[in-house]
Structure 1
């Protein structure tokens, strides 16, 4: 892979990628993976290199930038936006590998697509200078287009079996097509299988370090904010970005229907109940986006504290709920042609609800963390 130019996301290239993704949506949904043209356009826009360290030609960009770009792509195709934001996020995680591992991945340029499954599975056994890794992991979004895969596995012999993350070349894993989700059909979140492979120490890091960011320990003073931030500070808002874009587009499609004159000469929007649903859903979508932009600013610039992390987890979970509620209301109000499973509103509805169901966006866990950060969640609190 030839070295790429340095820099982050390009606004003009993001617009082109959004258009390419929109045009490729039908084929991508049929194939249940992004088209080659969409993958190339997303890479050209700078998603893949966005959080890659500058010394490897990356952008070390901000969470706000990748949020905005993912929202823009999500208006055309939430699956494309989902893969794009994950490629960015996984580059951020790979930046926490030891130097030799980073060199293996980015030594020839920053545009290296990385898939990941961070829910521990399989097993890792200690060997001199490395680990014997084997198992199955799912779902690995966009693995068909990946060059590398990050896989989490428990240490087979470690006290308490702590989990580690291993960077494995895509060529070493086989892929089993198991992605049958209702939404995000084109993300290709299949199962990856690794019979057995030796992974050197330079391509491994503890899961706790990866999730905690590089905020502690020697040498972190020279790291960018995107690498010191814990995963929970920004993960939820990035997951929500494709849903914001899809919800925006769902509202546009619905307004077009509601404002058109029906065969009986009456517009749906002339009914008070329909106007009320428009007001509620549009306000919820705008409020969710504003809250997430505030969370992105917190992730990019404010002090990293337990309270800030918990607030961002709370806001992402609540925003996902608002988006799902708003789009579901629109969907249930639409005419029969809007409920067509091949229609655009149906696509955005299933995509938003699928994103909102992600484990990282569950309100119960976020609420527990938020209460705990305020000192009100412990068993001994009154």
Structure 2
């Protein structure tokens, strides 16, 4: 079964651009054949980043004012599913590095110029958990400490370092992103994990790094879509979308893609296998077993549903942004529900497949097993974890104050 046969039937009527998706198809085999080496190296190869740059991947949702294409966010998410189907680690990093171009566009234009005027091809990694305090100094803030899980930091020239800004003028402390160039931090190789190992999500170490005030974007600005950048790009709905309608959609696309790739590999390998040894049904084609048929059917349906939910909700966010109206809590919670449940469905798919790969599935080189580990790693992320997001959604349905990220 080829990849096209596994795509949702509604692709026949979905009216989105497919240029980026088609270009990714030309790179998929390179990513797929390098997936094991990417995992062993614990970072995405520079060759993958260079190839993606050549097809304009990192310009997809970047402002045209700085050489980007400002495409619909759905095009990036859909293409990233296909990158992740070939190599989930590459998809995770590629999706984030591209989406961070969109996030940078939320900052004041002076901050955007700091990054892109000096290097139009600059990429940004990020560490989102605001576990450190920023110290107020004249003209900005100072950062010291460790910032973990900075995916793709080996491939980036800047980082988005989250921190808590101190209280001012009687207001509460507020979390924010602060832009820091790679020349002002070191990388501590702390990334040795069982899933998404190839993402190189290492730790950044900062020591008394000064950040000017114009390189700061607060979380309240980002999650509402009412950002300095939205004022800069008035009339361009892409840059009115709230942070959590976009970035987590790229994260979720990695799990959906991993499940899609696992399904393709499973059908290709199991469809040709014949059982061996003294077992019931020995010397029979595995494809003839009803249990195997059911697992494939469940995985295919789960991948299809996950992709549809994810893209549908990004399309809805784009439509709302085009209306230039504030996103309600309902709107934002709905996006978070779809992103996390898409991952939940993806986990269901890889579990169904991986449990029946037999002894050969234990090999570290087995792509189904790698996809299973990678998808489970996505599901551990606090933004994607269904237990965390699902309870927040349930709270909102019951009229309670939702506790979580939205």
The match for 1:31 among 41, 52, 65 is 41
Distance 1:211 1:296 in 2: 15
Distance 1:17 1:93 in 2: 25
Structure 1 residue matching 2:399: 3-state secondary structure? coil
1:320 counterpart residue number: 343
When the two structures are aligned, how many residues end up with a matched partner? 372
2:14 counterpart residue number: none
Q: Where does the alignment leave 5 or more consecutive residues of structure 2 unmatched?
A: 1-17, 277-281
2:275 counterpart residue number: 262
- Would the aligned equivalents of 1:215 and 1:229 in 2 still touch at CA under 8 Å? no
The match for 1:335 among 349, 353, 358 is 358
Structure 2 residue matching 1:219: 3-state secondary structure? helix
- Would the aligned equivalents of 2:44 and 2:199 in 1 still touch at CA under 8 Å? yes
1:359-374 alignment to 2 at 5 Å? Answer: 359-371=382-394, 373-374=396-397
2:252 counterpart residue number: 240
- Would the aligned equivalents of 2:96 and 2:247 in 1 still touch at CA under 8 Å? no
Distance 1:215 1:187 in 2: 29
Shift of 1:102: 0.9
2:179 counterpart residue number: 167
Whether 1:53 aligns to 2:63 is yes
Q: Where does the alignment leave 5 or more consecutive residues of structure 1 unmatched?
A: 1-7
2:294 counterpart residue number: 276
- Would the aligned equivalents of 2:105 and 2:229 in 1 still touch at CA under 8 Å? no
CA RMSD of aligned residues (A): 2.3
Shift of 1:110: 3.7
- Would the aligned equivalents of 1:53 and 1:59 in 2 still touch at CA under 8 Å? yes
The match for 1:135 among 132, 135, 145 is 145
Shift of 1:262: 2.8
- Would the aligned equivalents of 1:236 and 1:312 in 2 still touch at CA under 8 Å? no
1:78-117 alignment to 2 at 5 Å? Answer: 78-108=88-118, 110-117=120-127
Distance 2:355 2:399 in 1: 38
2:213 counterpart residue number: 201
Shift of 1:176: 0.4
- Would the aligned equivalents of 1:57 and 1:110 in 2 still touch at CA under 8 Å? yes
1:174-213 alignment to 2 at 5 Å? Answer: 174-213=186-225
- Would the aligned equivalents of 2:109 and 2:232 in 1 still touch at CA under 8 Å? no
Structure 1, 211-220 or 243-252: larger mean CA deviation: 211-220
Structure 2 residue matching 1:150: 3-state secondary structure? strand
Shift of 1:373: 4.9
Distance 2:249 2:51 in 1: 23
1:3 counterpart residue number: none
Q: Deviations over 1:8-30 (max 9, x none)?
A: 97444322333332232232222
Distance 2:344 2:22 in 1: 31
Shift of 1:368: 4.3
Distance 1:226 1:217 in 2: 11
Whether 1:311 aligns to 2:334 is yes
- Would the aligned equivalents of 2:226 and 2:240 in 1 still touch at CA under 8 Å? yes
1:113-124 alignment to 2 at 5 Å? Answer: 113-124=123-134
